[in-house]
Amino acid sequence: MPKRMTDGGAAAPRRPRKKRRRARRRGLKIFLLVLIPLIALTAACVFAVNYFFVIDTMTAAGSEHYTEAQILEASGLQMGDNLFKLLPWRADELITKKLPYLESVSMKLKIPSGVHFEAVDAQACLIAQTDSGYYLVSDRYKVLDKLETPEGRALPLVRANFGEEIAVGEKLPFLTQQDEKILIDIINYLYDNNKIDRVQWVDLQRHIDIRLMVDNRFEVELGDYMDLAQKLQFAQGILAELGEYDRGIIDVSDTEKAIFEPS
């Protein structure tokens, strides 16, 4: 192998092997000086989490439907568990699925060894009538329970195009987004105008023939799903003019005129 020559023609001296070895040793020492403290710090953190952050206090509040013991059991945590076994942002999903009458649950860590769950009960809004039975549904359209009968509850019975897989603890499924939107629009109007307690049932299985029963005396025909708020407001005005002994059909499918057919 030819030697590397300098400008004067003489061979350039090679770097001594000892210097190269010393450089490698120096680099290894620097690496170890960084690695060892890092390992020690990691070990200390793991030790601290497992030794110091051990649960010795658990509390829960906020629910009238479930006891504190039921909420704590649903969390899956026990005394002596690590404080970080259940992450706060997963507590809501885990507990509300096990306890469907809860709308939400927030988890608060009390360092160094406490945890508290604050629960919010779901508010029943309607009863969904399906081929598989009756389901109690919250105002956020979460399925709270399956009922043997809808009787005895002052909530509107809703007949709509629901999905096949209805599960307690999950959101009420609809066949289409349009089915969902129609129901939400009607229910929101009734709640916003404090009329929900006057409605016995809502039928929106056919989008061109939406109907509801008011005061057990008036069947209100809304027609299709266009201008629902305007039609409901129109019907509200007609109802205000009728007497306590009147009953019949109120047709507001045409927003230009209303027809009352007494029965």
Q: Which amino acid is at 78?
A: Q
Please state, in angstroms and rounded to a whole number, the distance separating the CA atoms of residues 211 and 253.
Answer: 10
CB neighbour class for 45 (10 Å; exposed up to 12, middle 13-18, buried from 19)? exposed
Q: Where are the domains of the chain?
A: 57-121, 124-262
Q: Do residues 124 and 136 lie in contact, with contact meaning Cβ atoms separated by under 8 Å?
A: yes
Helix, strand, coil tally for the chain in percent (to 5) = 35, 30, 40
Stretches where the chain sits below pLDDT 50 are 1, 44-45, 47-48
- Structurally, at CATH architecture level, domain 57-121 sits in Roll (3.10)
* Sheet strands side by side (includes 102-110): 57-61, 114-121, 102-110
DSSP-derived letter for residue 249 is E
Q: Which residue has the tokens 């549904």?
A: 137
Q: Do residues 79 and 56 lie in contact, with contact meaning Cβ atoms separated by under 8 Å?
A: yes
124-262 adopts what CATH topology?
Answer: Rossmann fold (3.40.50)
Across 167-197, b (16+ Cβ under 10 Å) vs e yields eeeeebbbeeeebbebbeebbebbeeeeebe
pLDDT digits (tens, 9 = 90+) for 194-225: 999 999 999 999 999 999 999 999 999 999 99
pLDDT in the model for residue 21? 62
The pTM assigned to this predicted structure is 0.76
Beta-sheet pairing, 57-61 with 114-121: parallel
Residue closest to 120 by CA, chosen among 90, 92, 141, 161? 92
Please state, in angstroms and rounded to a whole number, the distance separating the CA atoms of residues 133 and 140.
Answer: 20
pLDDT digits (tens, 9 = 90+) for 9-27: 555 555 566 666 666 666 6
Across 54-91, b (16+ Cβ under 10 Å) vs e yields ebeebebebbeebeeebbbbbbebeeebebeebeeeeb
